[in-house]
């Protein structure tokens, strides 16, 4: 029997079909996500979009619905704007806790195909039942990243826990992993969405329209240091205007202006490390950065140069490898929960 994993994000969704040896035999993607529910107030577009994507991916693989043992999913699909809202687990939590609390659903009102969908819960930071806004800096949650971290723990050659995973996507999410492999919680910023909002919705946007840095491109350390210093000394909001000054008054090339903005956002991101001690998260651990090449390289430099991180810093930047984290994590959790009994490795 085959099985599927469903990765449903804010604006895009992906389906992967795997065989009994955990090899991907087909994959599909479409521009539908929980944002559609937030805009329309109905999950209908999300349900229909995922159904169409699932059926198209099955056709590509020459399979039918009856060939699928189950579909495993995590992330925003388990939120109030997803297919089914499922409460978070309290941290600390690892593969055992996640597996013990999966929620299997076979209901056409939730997913309009005759497939059992196994929902993986997110994780939230521990806080007291009488918490108020005064406790807000201790509060955080995740949906989807917990599955990536479980996948990370299956990868050979990665640092053994404890370590801190940093997922750099629409958010920056710091996720400390305890020595026992359980997730201690998270701290999140809005970094990726802020970058896109600046590009698309402000007068600074045209000043930072330049190609993203690639692996072989040199990073201008002076630009990053100056951006970091501007955030620390002049404040983040004033620093955001500086790419405009660099363009109009100093005639600095576009790639340097984009790097300045990305480094400034990275510098602001790193201020969140100050809250680690508030939640008893350790900072003296290896770091594993997960995301686009340019953001990971900038983040690694700032961590070493300005935050004094002397421990190992790894990067996972290949899109396929990042996707594989979610697949491997979903497989590990589902197998521990009693699904996918056949033994095999994700290829």
The owner of tokens 């390289």 is 297
pLDDT score of 224 = 98
Class of domain 160-311: alpha beta
Per-residue pLDDT of the chain (347 residues; tens, 9 = 90+): 899 999 888 878 999 999 988 899 999 999 988 888 888 888 889 999 999 999 999 999 999 999 999 999 999 999 999 999 999 999 999 999 999 999 999 999 999 999 999 999 999 999 999 999 999 999 999 999 999 999 999 999 999 999 999 999 989 999 999 999 999 999 999 999 999 999 999 999 999 998 887 777 889 999 999 999 999 999 999 999 999 999 999 999 999 999 999 999 999 999 999 999 999 999 999 999 999 999 999 999 999 999 999 999 999 999 999 999 999 999 999 999 999 865 444 44
> Are 241 and 208 in contact, with CB atoms under 8 Å apart?
no
Topology alike, domains 2-157+319-336 and 160-311: yes
> Are 159 and 177 in contact, with CB atoms under 8 Å apart?
no
**Contact residues for 209 (Cβ-Cβ < 8 A; gap 6+):** 199, 254, 258
pLDDT score of 213 = 77
pLDDT score of 10 = 80
pLDDT score of 232 = 97
> Are 301 and 219 in contact, with CB atoms under 8 Å apart?
yes
DSSP 87: P
pLDDT tens track for 87-123:
999 999 999 999 999 999 999 999 999 999 999 999 9
Q: Where are the domains of the chain?
A: 2-157+319-336, 160-311
Q: Is 2 helix (H, G, I), strand (E, B) or coil?
A: strand
User: pTM (2 decimals)?
Assistant: 0.93
pLDDT score of 345 = 44
Pairing between β-strand 103-105 and β-strand 117-119 as defined by DSSP bridges: antiparallel
Q: What is the DSSP string of 112-158?
A: SSS--EEEPP-EE----TT--GGGGGG--EESSHHHHHHHHHHSTTS
Architecture of domain 2-157+319-336: 2-Layer Sandwich (3.30)
- Rounded Cα distance between 237 and 257, Å, is 16
6 phi and psi angles, rounded to 5 deg: -120, 125
- Rounded Cα distance between 140 and 138, Å, is 7
């Amino acid at each position: 029997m085959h099985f599927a994993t469903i990765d449903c994000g804010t604006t895009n969704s992906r389906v992967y079909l795997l065989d009994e040896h955990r090899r991907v035999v087909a994959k599909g993607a479409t521009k539908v996500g929980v944002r559609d529910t937030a805009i329309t107030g109905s999950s209908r577009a999300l349900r229909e979009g995922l159904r169409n994507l699932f059926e198209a991916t099955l056709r590509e693989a020459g399979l039918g619905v009856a060939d699928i043992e189950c579909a495993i999913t995590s992330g925003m699909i388990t939120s109030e704007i997803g297919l089914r809202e499922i409460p978070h687990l309290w941290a600390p939590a690892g593969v055992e806790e996640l597996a013990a609390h999966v929620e299997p659903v076979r209901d056409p009102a939730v997913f309009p195909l005759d497939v059992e969908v196994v929902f993986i819960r997110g994780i939230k930071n521990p806080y007291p039942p009488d918490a108020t806004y005064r406790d807000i800096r201790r509060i955080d949650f995740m949906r989807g990243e917990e599955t990536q971290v479980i996948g990370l723990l299956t990868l050979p050659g990665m640092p053994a826990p404890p370590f801190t995973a940093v997922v750099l996507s629409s958010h920056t999410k710091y996720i400390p992993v305890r020595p026992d492999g359980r997730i201690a919680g998270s701290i999140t910023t809005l970094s990726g969405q802020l970058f896109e909002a600046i590009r698309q919705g402000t007068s600074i946007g045209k000043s930072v329209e330049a190609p993203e840095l690639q692996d072989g491109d040199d990073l201008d350390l002076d630009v990053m240091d100056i951006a970091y210093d501007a955030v620390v000394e002049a404040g983040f909001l004033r620093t955001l205007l500086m790419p405009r000054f660099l363009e109009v008054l100093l005639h600095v090339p576009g790639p340097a202006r984009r790097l300045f903005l990305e480094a400034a956002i990275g510098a602001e991101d790193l201020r969140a490390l100050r809250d680690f001690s508030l939640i008893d998260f350790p900072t003296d651990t290896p770091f594993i950065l997960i995301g686009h090449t340019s953001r990971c390289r900038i983040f690694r430099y700032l961590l070493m140069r300005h935050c004094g991180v002397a421990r190992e810093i790894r990067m996972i930047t290949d899109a396929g490898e990042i996707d594989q984290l979610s697949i491997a994590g979903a497989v590990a959790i589902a197998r521990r929960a009693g699904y996918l009994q056949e033994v095999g490795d994700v290829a």
